[in-house]
Amino acid sequence: MGSVARKDYKVEPAGAEAAEGMGILGRRTFGNDPMQRRIFPKDREHLTPRDEFKAWRTRSLGKRLMKEGNVTFKVVDPSDSTRIIGMAQWSRPYFFANPENDKRAAGEDETPACVDLEARNQLMEALDGARKETWRDDWNFWYLGTLAVDEDYRRQGIATLLMEWGIQQAEKDGLPLYLEATPMGALFYPSLGFEAIKVIPVMDGACDLTLMIKYPKKCE
């Protein structure tokens, strides 16, 4: 998993040590996302001290980074190596064959009071239903779990750079590549060859996710 350079940006593997920086990136990237606002509503923020919430988020991300079958990459600011400005997390084929892997690491730790569990469970139930209907019992595919780019660094090719590794792996294996896209992502991924399979309404219609697939070229 060597580094790939483009202009001043470099994609490099990320381990558990990157969890805190990725948590900050996630808040900057998805903080205003309708799903995130439902799961982490402002009227519940006072229920969990900020430091306690940050520690929980870092532990949860650390577990995901270390989970067998996940492969994560990051991009840092060339002028500040402590600032993560982009990340992508991939799951290898058969990752979801293990039922325990079909759960967010956040659910494996004591969930802080500021989290709306009903909203989070609604999201996961909608995803589980769409995945089972689509994947059935065929777990032989690559999966993109997260793609995030800091809002201050968008439109600089970082997202495309982060996508290259997973696309190359799926193509080399001759396997499809799946992801669930936010409305913004659903506009971006077709430029990389992804096709929409189905729209997944979540949280009582508060937001839609789009289940997408990229077929290997030899299967097109």
- The domain that holds 12 is classified in CATH as 3.40.630.30
Count of domains in the chain? 1
Per-residue confidence (pLDDT) for residue 137, from 0 to 100: 87
Q: pLDDT, tens digit, for every residue of 102-138? A: 655 444 557 899 999 998 888 889 999 999 999 998 9
209, 180, 212: which is closest to 196 by C-alpha? 212
Instruction: Report helix, strand or coil for 197.
Output: strand
Lookup: tokens for 110:
């004591």
Q: pLDDT, tens digit, for every residue of 133-150? A: 999 989 999 999 999 999
186 or 218, higher pLDDT: 186
- Range of 164's domain? 4-219
What is the pTM assigned to this prediction?
Answer: 0.89
Instruction: Report helix, strand or coil for 173.
Output: helix
